[in-house]
Structure 1
């Protein structure tokens, strides 16, 4: 009996199953009302959407989330608008708030913090192209209304 071939077949089967499950999990995570479904836009949100977050790195890489409510929640809680299934993310980690034409990220007393352009923030006004780090996820903020890049953490 050749145990090496059996072990290789088992590992290959496990890898295929894991990849399939990962794909199913990703589909489930990105199928939310906040997710932007269009793939035909690049550096700007689609018409009618003033701001989006694009997941650049992390478990949900490639996902896009509209910021079309007064408050959009992000965290590990399943009811979060932006669900981040990552043990380093708090259940209610951060909020993205639309305020007077600006967007602000607010850390909601998370354990591991929220970062904008690699700086820890409790609250920060976002500008086009800012990178927000929540746990292992890096989200890029894109907006149709450009704000002054000199503004930021507060």
Structure 2
């Protein structure tokens, strides 16, 4: 235990201090889902967004065209049905083999690798958080 901190002598909570041999593991909370490791890379020249956390776990969305709209609106290219998602939430832009995601003024924001963004270039394996959904970009090379 750290110097200056003392455990009450009558408490035996079974806890031990952390040391170099302690292994920490992430725990999935009740109601929180995470995807299996099946986020393999698609064929060369194509890309996918794979749901790795949230509703529709494991769903694969092909990324095609110069732009892909993501939101709750029925006309969205990728429709994510949840109140945490704005009707027109984000847009993915594809040009010359590069991928960019931009927030479209959504209420809850768009996050890439857990950082809120306005617009940012993406790389294979980046995770886009839109409401309850976390989507991983997989780019075929």
**Structure 1 and Structure 2 fold alike (TM over 0.5):** yes
2:93 to 64, 72, 97: 97
2:126 to 127, 130, 134: 130
* Alpha-carbon separation, structure 2, partners of 1:59 and 1:43: 20
Q: Where in structure 2 are there 5+ consecutive unaligned residues?
A: 1-37
Q: Going by fraction, where is helix more abundant, 1 or 2?
A: 1
The structural deviation recorded for 1:42 is 4.4
SS of the equivalent of 1:125 reads strand
Q: Where in structure 1 are there 5+ consecutive unaligned residues?
A: 1-40, 146-154
1:62 to 50, 58, 62: 58
Q: Which residue number corresponds to residue 43 of structure 1? A: 40
* Contact 2:39/2:138, CA 8 A, preserved across alignment: no
| Structure exhibiting the larger radius of gyration computed from Cα positions | 2
* Alpha-carbon separation, structure 2, partners of 1:44 and 1:64: 11
* Contact 2:39/2:50, CA 8 A, preserved across alignment: no
The structural deviation recorded for 1:101 is 1.9
Higher relative contact order (CA 8 A, sep 6+): 2
1:114 to 95, 110, 113: 110
108-117 or 96-105, which deviates more: 96-105
The structural deviation recorded for 1:82 is 0.7
TM (normalized to structure 1)?
0.64
Q: CA RMSD in A?
A: 1.4
* Alpha-carbon separation, structure 1, partners of 2:63 and 2:120: 15
